[in-house]
Structure 1
Amino acid sequence: MKHDKKQHQIKKKIWKMPFLVDELFKDEDWRKFDGMAMEEPVPTETMKTLIQTAIQNQEKAQDRKELRRYRLVKLLRYSAAAAILLFFSFHFVTWWTKDSVVQPNVLRSAAKSVVEHKDTVWTSIENKNPRSIILDLPDGSHVRLFAQSHIRYVKNFVDNARDIELTGKAYFDVASDPKRPFSVLASGTKTTALGTSFTINTKLKHKAVTVALHTGKVLVSSLKNRFKQVFLADPGQKLTVDARGATKIDVVNKEKTLSMPGLSAPALLKLKNTPMPAVLQALEAAFKKQIHLGDKGIAAIHYTGEIDVHHDSLKDILTTICLINELRFVANADGSYTLYKQENTITEHLNN
């Protein structure tokens, strides 16, 4: 059985590699060979031995060739894998380093500081109306969002901070909360306050940004270290930051009077559930300006709060009153003001 199997293997090898016959038996040997003298139809033992030896040598040579080829392919695969790993490792480190440098510290604390997890719920509001709208934030703060402006914040804010992104112009009346600073991120600046009111405008020429302080104090810093921190502590100050990071502080002219009958300086009006007509009469006396009611229903509104006519301008005071009561005012050509009901409230805006 083994003999037949070997013969079959020999025939198979010769069929696949006919050159073995030429190598083992030269032309001269073939010419001398007498096929009729063979007693058997199969090769002689000598021929079988020679063929087997040649086959074994060919197999060993083939095995060595295959082994070298396998080792070469394996080496190339490892080299390619190492090169790919090195390539991606380098680009990953480059990306990570770039991301860490570009992203400001504030982006790791709130709003954009939450690092935009997939489950983060954002509240985004854009005012496409020609007039400003009044927004009530979850923390009790109020925003007057001017036309063609946009704000975005994490719904209900986040754990330890209240951060808002602004594009355009907005007035902020911040609810006091010392444990949770209130910050507005706008055009590379960050304005932080605990409880105050201020206006930020990014809609100026040459990419300039202004921060106007109305009440309280604010700290303005750069998200990209383009300028040193600026502290605004006097209401009426306005900071301007240009595209190069240069800063300038101006004092806004105020419509105010330093004397008011029956009141000593500072002229602080403490009002509690006071009818709106009485509030406006006091303001008319303090600023020598007429204030009209554009809607009769405004007369039924009662106002509670403090008004400092010594430090606050009439426009700032009216802005605060309108924010709280969902009103708006218009400056007339004769210098007077008229109050109207706010038609574009946050509720109407969200329903559109």
Structure 2
Amino acid sequence: MSEELLNKYFKGLCTPEEKLLVISYLNETEDLPAHLLGKNEWDETVEAVIPDHKTAEMFEVIKKQTISGRKRLNWFNITTAAAVILAVLGLVFLGLNRNQPKPDLAKNKVQNIKQAIAVNWKSVVNYTEQDQQLTLPDKSTVKIYPGGELRYTIPFVNRNREIYLKGKGFFQVTKDKKHPFVVYAKGVSTTALGTSFTITALEKSKLIKVQLHTGKVWVKSIDSTHHVKSFSEILMPGRELVYNSRLNKVSVMDTKVPVIQQEDRLTILNFTQAPLAEVFASLQKHYNVKIIYNPADLEEMSFTGSLKLAQPITTILKEITELNKLNHTKTTKGYLISKK
């Protein structure tokens, strides 16, 4: 473990990957370089001062144990006197130290860090050919696409809600302003407070994509070891960030909509941050069905994306309700939308 990396860790400058390496090292070692105790901590350490009356008492004990009339002490008496002196010094310093503030040593810091970082890792890998739905401990949901992997710590919520992603995943984040939701993927972090977005970071691909559906996210580079270009972008709904790791290039654009022929334009509906009530009204008109819902259940819910009207309405309703944690039920009059 290099001293440079240890210094970065104690200064809070490590990337998540570097932090994990240092944490593993700290859990296995008892001794750290002495210089890791900062100068300010040494300067603030209070020295024990022996009062004058204690000094006089010590001197009297020394005189009694080392001088007996005019006779020279033999070796045994000298040894005994030295032992008594050491014992007295030890008792005096022990008594003084009880009343003195204890210095904050680096070793104690390391032990406290070890206790604070006692966590376990949970990993979920989608080995199937179907999308896999996962509910996190904070009630956020993740759709893991085939071949994708998700890792997070237990306990999940500490200062931040942190996720490590390989492959592609769709995230529906539960709002929690005190604990930002952060996804790390191939040297890029995406931070959200409560929103929905899709990240694509396939292992063999040179592209990393972050597509925002609702809310707002902050996307930035965090990997200094692989020479990722430094960038920091705030995405709004309907925007997409693409990082090309081979060219070390970042671009932000509107979400791409497939090119369609003029005669097919009526078969696709495009929405950008549209209220769900508006989306359901368009579907009712096109499919000539009744969609029943409680308007209060749809407050603050919106949809951004393209709907292919060639699909059955059940498929479209399933996609929209899953994104917003709603249920859809077929009835004799049409479809009923309700909260889960």
What is the TM-score of this pair, normalised by structure 1? 0.49
User: Percent of aligned pairs with the same residue?
Assistant: 30
User: By how many angstroms is 1:198 displaced?
Assistant: 0.5
Asked if the contact 2:229–2:249 (Cα under 8 Å) also holds between the matched residues in 1, the reply is yes
Maintained 8 Å contact 1:107/1:115 = no
Q: Secondary structure at the match of 1:191?
A: strand
Report the counterpart of residue 221 of structure 1 in structure 2: 220
Deviation at 1:106, TM superposition (A): 4.8
Write the deviation string for residues 58-77 of structure 1: whole angstroms up to 9, x where unpaired: xxxxxxxxxxxxxxxxxxxx
1:105 maps to which residue? 14
1:213–1:232 Cα contact (<8 Å) kept: no
Give the drift of 1:242.
1.1
Instruction: State the one-letter code of the partner of 2:302.
Output: D
* Residue in structure 1 matched with residue 162 of structure 2 by the alignment: 163
Residue 212 of structure 1: how far off its partner (Å): 0.4
Q: Secondary structure at the match of 2:276?
A: strand
After TM superposition, give the deviation of residue 317 of structure 1 in Å: 8.1
**CA shift digits 1:52-95 (9 cap, x unpaired):** xxxxxxxxxxxxxxxxxxxxxxxxxxxxxxxxxxxxxxxx6xx2
Query: 1:7-26, aligned counterparts within 5 Å?
Result: none
The 2-side partners of 1:201 and 1:159 are apart by 26
Post-superposition shift, 1:313? 3.9
Deviation track 1:276-312 (CA, whole Å, cap 9, x = no partner) reads xxx86x35147x4x599xxxxxx99999434435x44
Q: CA deviation at 1:243?
A: 1.2
- Output aligned runs, 1:160-239, within 5 Å: 160-203=159-202, 206-225=205-224, 226-239=228-241
Aligned residue among 272, 276, 287 for 1:269: 276
Q: Please report how far the alpha carbon of residue 256 of structure 1 lies from its aligned counterpart in structure 2 after TM superposition.
A: 3.7
> Who is 1:242 aligned against?
244
Q: Contact 1:217/1:233 (CA < 8 Å) preserved in 2?
A: yes
Aligned residue for 2:253, secondary structure, equals strand
> Given the superposition, is the C-alpha separation of residues 196 and 108 from structure 1 closer, same or farther in structure 2, using an over 3 Å criterion?
same
Aligned partner of residue 157 in structure 1, secondary structure: coil
Q: 1:266 to 1:177 in 2, by over 3 A?
A: closer
Deviation at 1:172, TM superposition (A): 0.3
Letter in 2 for 1:223: I
| 8 A Cα contact 1:129 1:147, kept in partner | yes
Q: Which has the larger radius of gyration?
A: 1
- The number of equivalent residue pairs is 211
SS at match of 1:184: strand
Answer 1 or 2: which has greater helix percent: 1
Deviating more after overlay: 315-324 vs 155-164 = 315-324
Cα distance change of structure 1 residues 114 and 168 upon mapping to structure 2, 3 Å threshold:
farther
Q: Which runs of 5+ in 2 are unaligned?
A: 25-113, 258-267, 309-315, 329-334, 336-340
User: Against the structure 1 CA distance between its residues 107 and 247, is the aligned structure 2 distance closer, same or farther, given a 3 Å change threshold?
Assistant: same
Q: Give the direction of change, closer, same or farther, for the CA distance of 1:291–1:134 in structure 2 (3 Å limit).
A: farther
Aligned equivalents of 2:326, 2:273: Cα separation in 1? 25
User: How far has the Cα of 1:101 moved from its partner?
Assistant: 5.9
One-letter amino acid matched to 1:321: T
C-alpha distance in structure 1 between counterparts of 2:242 and 2:235, whole Å: 15
Is the contact made by 2:119 and 2:155 (CA closer than 8 Å) also made in structure 1?
no
Find the aligned partners of 1:220 and 1:162 in 2 and give their Cα distance: 15
Q: Tell me the amino acid that sits aligned with residue 253 of structure 2.
A: D
- Provide the rounded CA distance (Å) in 2 between the counterparts of 1:184 and 1:113: 19
- Give per-residue Cα distances to partners, 1:303-343, cap 9 Å, x unaligned: 9434435x44448985452253599xxxxxxxxxxx9xxxx
Q: Is this contact kept in 2: 1:132–1:146, CA < 8 A?
A: yes
Over 3 Å counting, the alpha-carbon distance change for 1:236 and 1:190 in structure 2 is same
What's the CA shift for 1:105?
Answer: 3.4
Q: Distance in 2 between matches of 1:115 and 1:192?
A: 23
Structure 1, gaps ≥5 residues long: 1-91, 259-264, 272-278, 293-298, 328-338, 340-352
Alignment partners' CA distance in 2, 1:220 and 1:213: 11
- Residues 113-135 of structure 1: CA distance to partner in whole angstroms, max 9, x if unpaired? 99456842111100111010111
Whole-Å Cα distance in 2 between the matches of residues 284 and 190 of structure 1? 36
Q: 1:257 to 1:152 in 2, by over 3 A?
A: closer
Amino acid aligned to 1:230: S
Q: Distance in 2 between matches of 1:141 and 1:214?
A: 15
